[in-house]
């Protein structure tokens, strides 16, 4: 399944703000190339060819290959942050908000697994300035999940001796879905999201955790 197909469902389509159409086509082509070949093995010629454009056309919209990766990473992390922020600031107890955060985050990684692999696993390919910006966004992502867990500990819903470590484990569990999820596999993104939400509630010792 191509990036364009897997991101056609609205929730996992983070590229609507990329204009004009040629810039968006190049970005989609870069996502596919980076996911398939890796950032360093991908050339600007590879990206332009996938987009049906000349290499010279790419430089009209993006000065460098790194600029493409930076934009992909920034938009992807902003989308991930929005998903978790919406869940963490929603109504309901910490148990409900954590389940919503995990299930939504997992669905995003499963439905847009090609994009998510690039967003989550190519951080070290960015230069110092771009990397610092993305690290800042990752810290905000961490803070949203950590905040829900802290709320649950304060309310007595969760039993978590190590909140930072547990937060890292929860995020790692969710992010890894992008690495292994297969659209032809036995579970849908929704089913994996529900399963992981239940697993995480058990991880934090939620009192009303039940079967997925």
Give pLDDT tens digits for 80-119. 999 999 999 998 999 999 999 999 999 999 999 999 999 9
Give pLDDT tens digits for 8-63. 333 345 587 788 989 999 999 999 999 999 999 999 999 999 999 998 999 999 99
Strand runs (DSSP E) across the chain, as ranges? none
pTM attached to this predicted model: 0.87
DSSP state of 207: T
Number of C-beta neighbours around residue 86 at 10 A: 14
User: Which residue did the predictor score with more confidence, 209 or 202?
Assistant: 202
Q: Is residue 200 scored above 50 in pLDDT?
A: yes
Q: What was the pLDDT predicted at 207?
A: 79
Q: What was the pLDDT predicted at 15?
A: 80
Q: What was the pLDDT predicted at 6?
A: 44
Q: Are 170 and 101 in contact (CB under 8 A)?
A: no
Nearest-angstrom CA–CA distance, 128 and 136: 12
Task: Tell me the H-state helices in 19-54.
Answer: 21-37, 44-50
**Percentage of residues of the chain with pLDDT beyond 70:** 91
Give pLDDT tens digits for 151-198. 999 999 999 999 999 999 999 999 999 999 999 999 999 999 999 999
Q: What is the mean pLDDT of residues 128-140?
A: 97
Nearest-angstrom CA–CA distance, 107 and 193: 6
Q: C-alpha 34: how far from its chain's center?
A: 15
Q: Are 35 and 84 in contact (CB under 8 A)?
A: no
Tokens, residue 120: 């989550």
Q: C-alpha 92: how far from its chain's center?
A: 24
């Amino acid at each position: 399944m191509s990036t364009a197909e897997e991101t056609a469902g609205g929730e996992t389509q983070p590229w609507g703000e990329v204009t004009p159409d040629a810039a968006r086509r190049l970005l989609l082509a870069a996502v596919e190339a980076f996911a398939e070949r890796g950032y360093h093995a991908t050339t600007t010629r590879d990206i332009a060819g996938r987009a049906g454009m000349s290499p010279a056309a790419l430089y009209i919209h993006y000065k460098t290959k790194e600029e493409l990766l930076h934009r992909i990473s920034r938009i992807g992390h902003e989308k991930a942050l929005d998903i978790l922020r919406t869940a963490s600031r929603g109504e309901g107890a910490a148990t409900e908000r954590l389940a919503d955060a995990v299930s939504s985050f997992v669905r995003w990684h499963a439905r847009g697994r090609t994009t998510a692999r690039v967003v989550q696993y190519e951080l070290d390919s960015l230069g110092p300035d771009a990397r610092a910006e993305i690290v800042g966004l990752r810290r905000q992502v961490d803070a949203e999940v950590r905040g829900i867990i802290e709320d649950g500990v304060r309310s007595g819903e969760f039993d978590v001796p190590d909140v930072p470590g547990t937060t890292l484990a929860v995020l790692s569990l969710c992010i890894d879905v992008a690495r292994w999820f297969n659209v032809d596999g036995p579970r849908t993104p929704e089913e994996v999201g529900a399963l992981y939400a239940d697993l995480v509630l058990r991880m934090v010792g939620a009192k009303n955790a039940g079967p997925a």
